[in-house]
Amino acid sequence: GDDAGVDISDEGMVITSKDEDGTYSWQAGDKAKLPDGFPADVHIYEGAAMAMSSDSPEGFTLALTTDDPFSKVVATYEEKMVSAGWTEQTSTTMSGTQMLIYTKGDRGANIGFFDQEGITQISLTVSK
């Protein structure tokens, strides 16, 4: 980008840049937080730890982890996304992973779930 900044500390990392298309940010570690403007109709799993977040003109990406069982986390997202007006387009399951793809108007949400030895990892990407 034309204007970039990097903040690295023991608590994590924040990278921001700006160009003619807009502002981009990436946060990891304890500094990772929900980006400003993240859509309220996209479920954030209660009690999950945020490992990474990013914001760009195209959308948002989050990486979350929880000790809750894989099947409970997936079922919660299936229920919460539909109840918020999202339409499920695809659900794909392969050993220890599941992908859910939703649409709502002109937006899309891709949610990946990964079972890593009892820790459920959630990868969430939402287009603006």
Q: Which residue has the tokens 């969430």?
A: 124
Q: What is the pLDDT of residues 17-67, one digit of tens each?
A: 777 777 778 788 877 899 999 999 999 999 999 999 999 999 999 999 999
> Strand 49-56 and strand 22-29: pairing?
antiparallel
pLDDT at 1: 47
Q: What is the pLDDT of residues 74-98, one digit of tens each?
A: 999 999 999 999 999 999 999 889 9
pTM above 0.75, yes or no: yes
C-alpha 49/C-alpha 64 separation (Å) is 5
- Grade residue 7 by pLDDT with cuts at 50, 70 and 90: confident
Question: Measuring CA to CA, which residue among 126, 127, 100, 128 is closest to residue 113?
Answer: 100
Coil, strand or helix: which one is 81? helix
C-alpha 77/C-alpha 112 separation (Å) is 10
